Structure 1
Amino acid sequence: MSILVGTASWTDKTLIESGAFYPPGCSSAEARLRYYASVFPLVEVDSSYYAMPSATNSALWVERTPPGFVFDVKAFRLFTGHQTEPRFFPKDLQADLPSTGKKNLYYKDIPPPVIEELWARFFEALRPLHQAGKLGSVLFQFPHWVTAVPKAREHVEHCAERMHPFLTAFEFRHESWLGEKHRESTLAM
């Protein structure tokens, strides 16, 4: 078994601003990814949490990295139960979002056809990485307010079913998932 080590994003603000990692003149996203991939074999894509990723960008990442380089991709924030402002949805889907009067929307607020389209676009964005053998895991990072209650467990299982057969990782930030009461059932899940 080999262990791959990398960071969360080749465009991380602290990584760039430190001035200690990238060589002088390495200032474009393309140059940074190429350099990053010459040092590390793995990176976590966190931009996909904030906005739906695109197949175009994924294809560029494939071209800009050497064989064997791995991308772990964070799931879009809506899928993990995080609040999502309408402006973070693809522009062409924003008109189909419900007018709740609230600043943020949650997965349960979104009409099923929009949910289906979001999943389809997410898989489309993963396809170039997967086809090139460069997709590691897809990380679902659940917020601390998502506790081990039946409704949340159902949503986690729903995400796992949607992601099959991709390698998927789940991060639970609330202690109830691995507390004495739910540890066994969480690990079994």
Structure 2
Amino acid sequence: MENLLVVLGGGTGLYVWIAGLPGVLLLAGAAVGNGRYAPFRLRILICTGLLYLSFVFFFLSFGLEEIEAVGSSARTAPRLWSAGLALFTLDQLRRIFTGRSPRDPEKGDIPRVFLTAGVVALALWGMDIAGYYISTGVMLLLLSLLLGERRPVVSLSLAGGWILFSWAVFSRLLNLNLPEGIFF
């Protein structure tokens, strides 16, 4: 079993995971069908894709080398992301299946999707210049505005809370170096 995890966690295993995503999404779409959960089909497909992605993060972490000199394993961060992503996705699925989630919208807001992708890409690019903390804080502020949050206290507390959480967990607890720009 360990050999299988190492193969699927290696570089060529990524191609297996990428090839498997359409099959998993097709199976989930077929399982939903036209029955009771058909109005939630897109939400279920998105949750299925996110769960699949969390399993990919987990299995790819087996391909990372163990380096104990830095105080934590290189496998820790992907496994934390995997666990968090799976936890919140399973909660969303629970809300769908218990009837507490709204139905899928009739049509999407494609320009907002492209703007969101642009903001995230700009933040990733900006990490080399401004550093992780500033880039992520600005990204979260812009995304909260883009998604319709107009209360400054909520937007600022979200950005500040994430920066504080990132600093405490990744820098202090796990001793991981986040990207540093010219300001940090």
Q: Same fold (TM over 0.5)?
A: no
Structure with larger Rg: 2
More helix by share: 2
TM-score by length of 2: 0.28
> What TM-score do you get using the length of structure 1 for normalisation?
0.28
